[in-house]
Amino acid sequence: MVTLIHTVGTTGMEQTDHFGISHCLDRIAALRSLRDGWHDGAGAAPTAAAAEAALSLLALKPRMAGSYRIFPTDLGGLLFEFGRHDWDYAVEIGPDGLLSVYGVESGGAGEMATGALAADSPEFAGEFGRVTADRG
């Protein structure tokens, strides 16, 4: 289980919240309060597994928190969208807590996608690290 505290910090998190972590935590909490049927009678409420995976994603690269736009999915998951290095990315967290990364090159023809990966897997950490790496 990943625990994030707004200003104190925990495993993998910074001691201060100048990266936007509080905003992300508040958004995830608000989305968790949705009820089944939130989307015009359809749409499953985001699951605890999806929320836990979202916290793992935040802990993986806290400096990215300010760039995330977080949305619910109709299937009970969460979607993190962000831009990086002329690419638009989405990390889709399924209701089972598995994550998939999708990317489209802005103004180009590049595309990328992963299969569903566990938040704590080396494969996800490697792929997420690759797409969010600083480029010199």
**Contacting residues for 94 by C-beta, under 8 A, at least 6 apart:** 50, 73, 75, 76, 77, 100, 116
The tally of CA atoms less than 13 A away on the side-chain side of residue 43 is 17
Interval 22-30 mean pLDDT: 95
Give the pLDDT of residue 127. 93
Q: What is the mean predicted confidence (pLDDT) over 6-24?
A: 60
pLDDT of 8 > 50? The answer is no
- The end-to-end CA distance of the chain, in Å, is 34
> Is pLDDT above 60 for 132?
yes
Q: Over the stretch 72-92, which tens digit does the pLDDT of each residue have?
A: 999 999 999 999 988 999 999
What's the pLDDT at 17?
A: 55
- Residue 63 CB contacts under 8 Å (≥ 6 apart), including other chains: 14, 19
What is the structure's pLDDT at 9?
Answer: 43
**pLDDT value for 88:** 95
Q: Which residues contact 121 (CB under 8 A, 6 or more apart)?
A: none
CA–CA dist 123, 82 (Å, integer): 20
The gap from C-alpha 22 to its chain's centroid, in whole angstroms, comes to 14
Give pLDDT tens digits for 32-63: 999 999 999 999 999 999 999 999 999 998 98
